[in-house]
Amino acid sequence: MKSCFAVLFVLSFIYITGRAQTVNINTTGDPLINQLCPAFSFDTLFNYPKDKLSLPELKGKFVIIDFWGTFCLPCIKAFPKLENWQKRYGDNLQILLVATDGYPKTKQFYEIRKKGNKPMSLPCAINKSMVKYFQVKDVSTYVWIDDKGYIRAITDGSQLTDENIAGFVNRKEIMVREKEKKISVDYKKPLLEIAKEIDSNSVVFGSVLTRHLKGVRSSMNVSRKGVYRNRIAAHNMAVRNLYQLAYGDSTGPVPFNRTIVESSSSEKIECPPNEDYEKWKYDNTFCYEITVPEAKRDSIWSLMRDDLRQLFGYSACQEYRKQKCLILKADKNFRHLADTSVKPSASISVGGITLVNQPFPRLVDNISHFLSDKILLDETGLSGRITVVLKAQMNDVDAVNGELKKYGLSLQYEDRQAQMLVIRDPR
């Protein structure tokens, strides 16, 4: 079985050499590399000593542009590391954040961080033309610009290491992996057609299973409408994700925080914490699709489970386990039902949530999204429409709790019997 899914791949690397500051890239390299960066200017700035900035003003410094979004938790987790490098290298380095989701959410993010005594030291800009120029389709994306203004690398966050940053700033030869270029894919097409367009040799199991398809965005989809409404499809997903999808239902896959892996070969099921996912994925992620006739529509998940058991050999079941959970509770002071005559609206980011005339379960779902590593159980008994404004770092339990208390709500850690998906070796 293992040999059936083995895949040979060649990583494309960008070589940044010291004295001449030149870069050698193989034929798959990004055409922007080694080009002089356009003279982008910014007049919407956060946390910068001047009201305006243009890139030519930074010549003489090494620059790293971080394209990020307020919705992106990995982006935010990387900020302390970036701030440390900025402090360490001072005037030799300028790290500039460029937010991809607009001024209001970015402004709110900086304000919430300051309010929570976690102020940002890095400057941030808004520039849609820059996002378009670098064809940023996912975050984080990092652009490395040398002290003469030339684009030297475009990478993901895995290449931001102490060694690489030190080498870059000190004009030493370093090797960083180029960020995989995303391509446009029509996900309404059957997987076989997508695979043949990208790589005619990628199909490994009939018409439904392929190896990792380079450049295809990871996704899962359960079609409910149209000609493909009796179809489940997954693209570039780990075995764990495939089992979560198969044991889910029409509302979505089993959540990550409700999945337990008990296997001697867990490194084949999910990426180990200390392994480079960008390398691991080529051998261990797959695309899968199943389409069934209308008469078998309700059986599609059980058929997918049978496929996975045959293809990968792991057994799985859902069972109750005692787990530490976050319990959402309401006290008698809850008096925040919405005025249903007001037009419903919502604004959601990691910097806060505003819900106007929205169903209470949506608040629960939004909180659960940003606290995705916790099992959140709603024991409020509430179901009406509400209006709430939470100005907090939404991935911080204590910060969220502080805002919820204003509405007579609270999050408390308690043990509960929770239904979990357990993936294990065959018995």
| pLDDT per residue as tens digits for the range 4-59 | 433 333 334 444 544 334 433 333 467 899 999 999 999 899 989 898 999 999 99
What average pLDDT does this structure show over 370-386? 93
- Counting every residue written for the chain, the total comes to 427
What average pLDDT does this structure show over 337-352? 92
**Poorest-pLDDT segment among 47-61, 152-166, 203-217:** 203-217
| DSSP β-ladder status, 93-99 and 209-210 | unpaired
Does 28 or 128 have the greater pLDDT score? Answer: 128
Residue 54, SS3?
strand
Reading the block at residue 298, the tokens are: 């309700």
pLDDT of the residue at 29: 60
pLDDT of the residue at 11: 38
pLDDT of the residue at 1: 43
> What are the beta bridge partners of residue 268?
none
What average pLDDT does this structure show over 340-368? 94
pLDDT of the residue at 229: 66
What average pLDDT does this structure show over 220-226? 75
- The pTM for the full model equals 0.74
CATH 3.40.30.10 in the chain: give the residue spans.
10-177
Report long-range pairs for 333-339 (Cβ below 8 Å, ≥24 apart).
333/408, 334/380, 334/382, 334/407, 334/408, 334/409, 335/408, 336/386, 336/387, 336/388, 336/407, 336/408, 337/384, 337/385, 337/386, 338/384, 338/385, 338/386, 338/387, 339/387
| pLDDT per residue as tens digits for the range 245-279 | 999 988 889 999 999 999 999 999 999 999 999 99
Reading the block at residue 47, the tokens are: 């946390």
CA quadruple 167, 168, 172, 177: dihedral positive or negative? positive
10-177: CATH class: alpha beta
pLDDT of the residue at 12: 45
**Residue 9: partners with Cβ closer than 8 Å, 6 or more residues away:** 212, 214, 282
Q: How far is the C-alpha of 87 from the C-alpha of 83, rounded, in Å?
A: 6
316 sits in the region (left: phi over 0; alpha: psi -120 to 50; else beta) called beta
**Tokens 């075995």 sit at which residue?**
239
Q: How far is the C-alpha of 236 from the C-alpha of 234, rounded, in Å?
A: 7
What average pLDDT does this structure show over 130-141? 91
